A and B are shown apart, each in its own frame.
Chain A
């Protein structure tokens, strides 16, 4: 450590409080000489190569006889204190750190962790949809998944209702809360075109999805007829042709 000079400034003073040119680099702070209130101490260190740096301390004098020296000292001061401006350990010659521990070991650890993650990932295949495995899985899921519509032989409105609508509108059209309106005793069902439109296209901005893509004209007609004629509703059935006209 080639420190040639340490200057200590108190508060906004332009003249240093002390200039120290030799170890031990110390300054004496006397509470009796300091006004009450917060003080700042700036320590400027000059090095042999002409460079310099600084660090700051803040401390408080509350009563004339007790300086609270902040991080200069842990306890309020009753008497003058000697402040070390340079830590003893800073003057020692630095020892270079062990490159094996701080450079090689980190590299090995990094690769180690990355390899373990990679190994785990390789044991499970890649999942992008254009991978053959994913296609196979998708096909087998499609095979066992229940389909919404009843198979050939005419659509059954009650079945379609049970598998597509009942979870929200209730098994008996009673609805749920404010979000899912009841269908039983609902005046709006009188307008057949409105009902068909909502089933086909959903109602944007609400939880009602569009079923036009997954139900055929016959199926939409069957389920609309079902809700218009069940649970006390008597609005009459609709035909597949009416649905087709609204597509």
Chain B
């Protein structure tokens, strides 16, 4: 069979059925992320809320960990969706893939329950192994780390073995394989626990920065490439040429761009120059992706087999550029970062970038799967509701980001630049109206985001159900 046209057999491949489970769990965890985010937003307003029961730190752990997990699950789901289409055959080792998937689902459930009901430990080896490893974004206890590494290893095996069995390697597959190697190996850097905080953070950033600003960004390039081929029929040549350019730029700038986290943590001073220079170039590949997306959708005048997926793909290109590129660039030069480091500006950027780059991607993939999961495939896929979910999610995340940006600006100006980082300065910034009043605003924008999420879930369940516009002839 073929590897070139993303040909879909009547029955979904087993690996596509698995992908649908990935997407279902991803969307559920998205809900978990939003819930705990709202708890925190309210705790900013009323510190007595859940006082003594569910601390801010526990909520934060759940908020960011569920995010990392659901986005990664969504991206991996995208690979399981497209891999058989790309290679024209069932994924090799699909039984193993299903097995480890249910182990991971069970594991994530246990980890979440332990976070919720145990929360803290004495900080000894037992805590490390069974409760919480204590590093932001990747708090999972060590036993879960091993499960995750096994999971990525099996995933990588699926991809490599399928390509070999299909006797085909495409540009997209080649990039995917090496990217997954880096992604998996870098995770192991987050499993060490060292007495020297500088060393500890030095390695921790390998996971956090080199994941989101290098390996994930490339993984997104691959799955978005497949998505565009599916949505617009963009020629493979065009997709792969752009992909190679993006990979070169992402790795070329992002690897040493790591230095923008090494300015003030006790690492050697040369990182100020290296990090400042290379991270300032990091928006370049993101510009390339916007150009690519606009060019492609323009060339096809937005005619697509799946409207919501195409619109999410376009939002992804812009969101990635603005959230990661612009909001990141804003604070990446050491001259600025010296004042803005660790303020709410980082949170503004974090929310914007993760939403733009990764939520946008996973939504694209989820809508593609939703279209094909039905008995009668509606073409083009469309509904009244998806636009509401789309518009409200984007509007309310911009609202949340705006409130973080304003409070971060107040902190940067008052606490750092004007008053020089004293305790008094901290209090002044903290009590300034630009800081304090944005808490309400953020909370209500969060509530709107939750509403939009519920609309999204409803739309995903119902979209494409009515067979009216389906192309019947092809299927019977």
Which positions in A face B, CB cutoff 8 Å?
1, 9, 11-16, 38, 40, 42, 44-45, 47, 51-60, 68, 70-72, 74, 86-87, 89-90, 94-99, 102-103, 106, 109-114, 117-118, 120-121, 123-131, 133-134, 137, 167-168, 176-180, 204-206
Q: Mark B162-192, 1 if CB is under 8 A from A, else 0.
A: 0110111100001001101110111011001
Whether the pair B185, A113 counts as a contact (CB closer than 8 A) is yes
List of B residues within 8 angstroms of A51 by Cβ: 1, 9
> Would you list 26 pairs from A and B whose C-beta atoms are within 8 A, ordered by A residue?
A11-B471, A42-B471, A51-B1, A52-B10, A56-B379, A56-B471, A60-B301, A68-B301, A90-B5, A102-B163, A103-B164, A106-B181, A110-B185, A113-B185, A117-B188, A117-B203, A120-B192, A124-B200, A125-B196, A127-B193, A128-B124, A129-B124, A130-B125, A167-B424, A179-B430, A179-B431
Whether the pair A179, B427 counts as a contact (CB closer than 8 A) is yes
Give A177's nearest chain B residue, CB to CB. B431
B18 sits at the interface (CB 8 A) = no
Number of A-B contacts (CB under 8 A): 210
Give CA–CA (A243, B431) in the complex, Å: 33
Q: How many residues of B contact A (CB 8 A)?
A: 76
Most buried by B among A95, A134, A168, A176: A176
A8, chain B: closest CB distance, angstroms = 10
List of A residues within 8 angstroms of B185 by Cβ: 109-114, 117
Whether the pair A94, B471 counts as a contact (CB closer than 8 A) is no
Give CA–CA (A158, B156) in the complex, Å: 65
List of A residues within 8 angstroms of B451 by Cβ: none
The answer to whether A54 and B156 touch (CB under 8 A), given A44-B474, A97-B169, A129-B123, is no
Which among A70, A118, A125, A128 is the interface contact of B300 at CB below 8 angstroms?
Answer: A70
Whether the pair B427, A58 counts as a contact (CB closer than 8 A) is no
Whether the pair B203, A59 counts as a contact (CB closer than 8 A) is no
Give CA–CA (A140, B5) in the complex, Å: 67
B470 sits at the interface (CB 8 A) = yes
List of B residues within 8 angstroms of A109 by Cβ: 178, 181-182, 185
List of B residues within 8 angstroms of A72 by Cβ: 233
Whether the pair B199, A121 counts as a contact (CB closer than 8 A) is yes
The answer to whether A102 and B203 touch (CB under 8 A), given A90-B4, A129-B122, is no
Q: Mark B1-45, 1 if CB is under 8 A from A, else 0.
A: 111111111100000000000000000000000000000000000
Which among A55, A60, A86, A117 is the interface contact of B6 at CB below 8 angstroms?
Answer: A55
Give CA–CA (A12, B378) in the complex, Å: 11
B100 sits at the interface (CB 8 A) = no
Whether the pair A124, B194 counts as a contact (CB closer than 8 A) is yes
Whether the pair A94, B168 counts as a contact (CB closer than 8 A) is yes
Whether the pair B471, A96 counts as a contact (CB closer than 8 A) is no
B202 sits at the interface (CB 8 A) = yes
Whether the pair B177, A177 counts as a contact (CB closer than 8 A) is no
